[in-house]
Structure 1
Amino acid sequence: MENIKPMPKEEGLDHSLNVLREGYLFITNRTIGFQSDLFETRLLGERAICMRGEEAARLFYDQEKFVRSGAAPKRVLKTLFGEDGVQTLDDEEHHHRKAMFMSLMTREALGCMREITHKHWELAVCRWESRDKVEIYKEAQEILCRVACEWAAVPLPEAEVKEKTGWLADMIEATAAFGIKHRKGRNARAKAEKWIQDLVVEVRSGAIDPQQGSTLHTISWHRDLRGELLDKKTAAVEILNILRPIVAVAIYVCFTALAVIQQPEERDKLMTSDEKQLKKFVQEVRRFYPFFPFAPARARKDFNWNGYAFDKGVLTILDLYGTNHHPGMWDQPELFKPDRFDDWNGSPFSFIPQGGGDHHTGHRCAGEWITLEIMKESLDFLANKMSYEVPVQDVSFSFHDMPSLPHSRIVIRKVKPLH
């Protein structure tokens, strides 16, 4: 019989407030203190096991040992993910729904995403010529709302762009918020779901006919394992699970702008718009800067791992940011070094900014490839396709803000397109 080791344990009744105070570094701070990549604490009134690192990620994404049902806090479902979305499913139901998402990620669709992103950046830069100053984060949200809706075949009248962008942005920014900001995120989700539900009804009635293979068409007509159409609310949640994450890439775009400004030697390598150089740079942005902090799951059954006991139902939290900065896995993880991705062929459990494991069968983000296409095109514009000045501003960012962003949101001025 395997010997059970005592798990490093944080004393105290509950440490939820410490998560808010420390943000992305909550788990990493304790793994350093315990000298262990795994420890036990209490969060939201219950026992929780926190862990980081490649082997922890490999365990976390083992679907024989963990489930997602009942893992995400209700407040996250009410703002960020939506209820009954793919992130909350397990087993055959998850595989079936995930296959629907992956069917949207064809090579042709990814190429189309790149072209649409290029077009909307080009239009935005032309608009910015007449502006005194431009806030990259805010403008990137609007660009990506336009991009997301066009790519997904979701109608977006010009008069509604700012409103719809605001809804999607509020959902993202309410993830770890309380009070007014959280209520704003919930209200935004309710409005956004109503907007998309009405479109699903119109698609099914024949009032609108989106292109076959598009997000709006595919999800509106998707049938579950019982052969039934998704109810309109669930269909809306899943369509928003395409639109919202695309708009969330504005966080990465903002950090990409910061890296372009702060890393002139790395920027010089991008001058030829070489695809490999662009990809290395954006991969390092995704590794280096904070994006999504943690991922939750629950143990499917009692089991032992490396001598530690996991009880059925125990809340288990994987540190995404901490894994991407693990000193045992990354050389000088505190430095911005795109060349670390030269011919990188690492494990899908060591580089996990948008989840780990397999895209098709696991819980790794279906939109990761879309994220890369958007980021490469955005980087090319920020580094090569426009000139601008960067005024003095506070570009620092805080790890306790979730999502974290440069405090100034990156302001530029005197923007001109480079032809």
Structure 2
Amino acid sequence: MDAHRRPLMDRTLPLLTEGYAWLPNRMRDSADAVLRTRLLGRPALAVRGPEAVRFFYDEGHVHRHGATPAPVLDTLFGQGAVHTLDGDAHRVRKELFLPLLDPDRVTGLTEHVTAAWDEAVRSWSELSRVVLFDAVGVVLTRGVCRWAGLPRQAVDAEPLARDLIAMVDGFATPGPRHLRARRARARQQARMARLIEDVRRGKVSAPADSVLDRVCRHHDDPGEPLDAGTAAVELLNVLRPTVAVSWFVAFAAHALHRWPAHRERLRAGDGAFATAFAHEVRRFYPFAPFLGGRTVTELTWHGESVPAGGILLLDVYGQNHDEKLWGDPYAFRPQRFLERPADPDELIPQGGGDPATGHRCPGERITVGLLDSLAVRLARLEYTVPEQDLRIPLRRIPTRPRSGFAVTGVRAP
């Protein structure tokens, strides 16, 4: 039998046990960075590289509708989210988010978050121990809710932060983390839907052109506003990914602990280096293992094929650690992004493509802006790193330092 026609063994269970290494390990022996496999009962084709990014994001090749497993929708994105749409429907819904990429808006969010950070640091200095991952989640929640126009009486930052973190933490795993994520999604989606209904009825005011206002007024079809449930999904799709920057801040603290020489340059306020540091944190540390879409026709890449209705995978973690692209991929070296700018088809920690017209995360610019600002503040913060488990397990998706990066003796600059 032709090797290309042999039945493929389903590799879903190995994915659950191997985590981030699952796809790179299987692609290691492929000269063309392509792999045929089977996932979730469907034939799948995995690809990697800048040309593969453009191939993956061609809407004639891949649709998102029906591609995202229900457990991911019920935890991470929400049913009916922009991530599940294609074509004109996707472009219309994305108009809700694109104004958030305006530089003034990004600056505004950064100012709200850094103000929340400065407030929090004063309280951290009174505590015997602070787990940065958890504490930064609360900071980000306070900042993004103020920026998004949520009324203060509607926001209890600590439980909201726990729920937003839980939605991200439990999307890719069975068991208790997944159950917590489902409960968190249901709880906060119901709360945000009630808030949206209150705004529409005039019981609560939303600042003009705020995120809350835009969500309440958005129409996919002329004359038909989003139902309150879908509007709540999209409001959470602004809040949740902002709070997910907690992962990158914990990784930044880990990097500064392992390679403290970078601290002085960040402390000095070198903006270009801070951005390069943010890019390198996002490249070096694991976040999204891969992305997937449902093939709309039979596709062939470098001699390997997948039928219509199969799965096309983009190897995110593997590409961000590809020796052909990065030379020394397992060296943490922010300078690489000072030597040449980040190519959007090479550096894909939050996906690839064009954020204006395609499925690249529209919040990527926000992530970079927040991370480079918070990395500078983190570098200027005085603290002690006590003995703890700072391992970052690659079997856990999404992973993070086991201890959450605990610090003691925090002293404000």
Q: CA deviation at 1:181?
A: 2.2
Matched residue type, 2:233: V
Cα separation, 1, equivalents of 2:324 and 2:28: 12
Cα separation, 2, equivalents of 1:35 and 1:105: 38
Taking only the aligned residue pairs, the percentage that are identical comes to 36
- Indicate the larger mover: 46-55 or 124-133: 46-55
Cα separation, 1, equivalents of 2:295 and 2:240: 28
**Are residue 124 (structure 1) and residue 120 (structure 2) matched?**
yes
**Are residue 30 (structure 1) and residue 23 (structure 2) matched?**
no
Picking from 409, 416, 419, the partner of 2:411 is: 416
- Indicate the larger mover: 392-401 or 85-94: 392-401
Check the 8 A contact 1:67/1:300 in 2, yes or no. Answer: yes
1:359 and 1:6, CA in 2 relative to 1: closer, same or farther beyond 3 A? farther
Q: CA deviation at 1:346?
A: 4.3
Matched residue type, 1:237: V
Check the 8 A contact 1:117/1:377 in 2, yes or no. Answer: no
Q: CA deviation at 1:252?
A: 0.4
Picking from 378, 398, 405, the partner of 1:403 is: 398
SS at the partner of 2:408? strand
**Are residue 321 (structure 1) and residue 317 (structure 2) matched?**
yes
Check the 8 A contact 1:93/1:225 in 2, yes or no. Answer: no
**Are residue 339 (structure 1) and residue 339 (structure 2) matched?**
no
Picking from 364, 371, 381, the partner of 2:367 is: 371
Cα separation, 2, equivalents of 1:310 and 1:45: 13
1:10 and 1:110, CA in 2 relative to 1: closer, same or farther beyond 3 A? farther
Give the aligned partner of residue 110 of structure 1: 106
SS at the partner of 1:269? helix
Matched residue type, 1:401: R
> Scaled by the length of structure 2, what TM-score is found?
0.96
Deviations along 1:300-321, one digit per CA (max 9) or x if unpaired, are 2224333333321111111111
Give the aligned partner of residue 353 of structure 2: 357
Cα separation, 2, equivalents of 1:337 and 1:236: 40
Give the aligned partner of residue 238 of structure 1: 234
Deviations along 1:148-179, one digit per CA (max 9) or x if unpaired, are 21111123449822221121111111111212
- Indicate the larger mover: 369-378 or 86-95: 369-378
Check the 8 A contact 1:294/1:317 in 2, yes or no. Answer: yes
1:344 and 1:209, CA in 2 relative to 1: closer, same or farther beyond 3 A? farther
Cα separation, 1, equivalents of 2:3 and 2:270: 51
**Are residue 47 (structure 1) and residue 43 (structure 2) matched?**
yes
Cα separation, 1, equivalents of 2:72 and 2:25: 24
1:157 and 1:7, CA in 2 relative to 1: closer, same or farther beyond 3 A? farther
Cα separation, 2, equivalents of 1:331 and 1:10: 36
Cα separation, 2, equivalents of 1:44 and 1:291: 21
Deviations along 1:87-124, one digit per CA (max 9) or x if unpaired, are 00000010111122001222211111121111111011
Check the 8 A contact 1:211/1:217 in 2, yes or no. Answer: yes
Matched residue type, 1:25: A
Picking from 362, 384, 387, the partner of 2:382 is: 387
Picking from 265, 270, 274, the partner of 1:269 is: 265
Give the aligned partner of residue 151 of structure 2: 155
Deviations along 1:350-398, one digit per CA (max 9) or x if unpaired, are 11011101010010111111111211121111101x2111112221111
Check the 8 A contact 2:34/2:304 in 1, yes or no. Answer: no
Give the aligned partner of residue 219 of structure 2: 223
Segments of 5+ residues of structure 1 without an aligned counterpart are none
- Indicate the larger mover: 37-46 or 75-84: 37-46
- Indicate the larger mover: 331-340 or 203-212: 203-212
Check the 8 A contact 2:36/2:43 in 1, yes or no. Answer: yes
Check the 8 A contact 2:35/2:304 in 1, yes or no. Answer: no
1:311 and 1:158, CA in 2 relative to 1: closer, same or farther beyond 3 A? closer
> Scaled by the length of structure 1, what TM-score is found?
0.94
Cα separation, 2, equivalents of 1:304 and 1:56: 11
1:183 and 1:345, CA in 2 relative to 1: closer, same or farther beyond 3 A? same
Runs of 4+ in 1 over 4 A off after TM superposition: 5-11
**Are residue 61 (structure 1) and residue 57 (structure 2) matched?**
yes
Picking from 295, 305, 310, the partner of 1:299 is: 295
Check the 8 A contact 2:67/2:294 in 1, yes or no. Answer: yes
1:388 and 1:158, CA in 2 relative to 1: closer, same or farther beyond 3 A? farther
Give the aligned partner of residue 254 of structure 1: 250
Aligned residues: 412
Give the aligned partner of residue 344 of structure 2: 348
Q: How does 1:81-92 map to 2 (within 5 A)?
A: 81-92=77-88
1:127 and 1:346, CA in 2 relative to 1: closer, same or farther beyond 3 A? closer
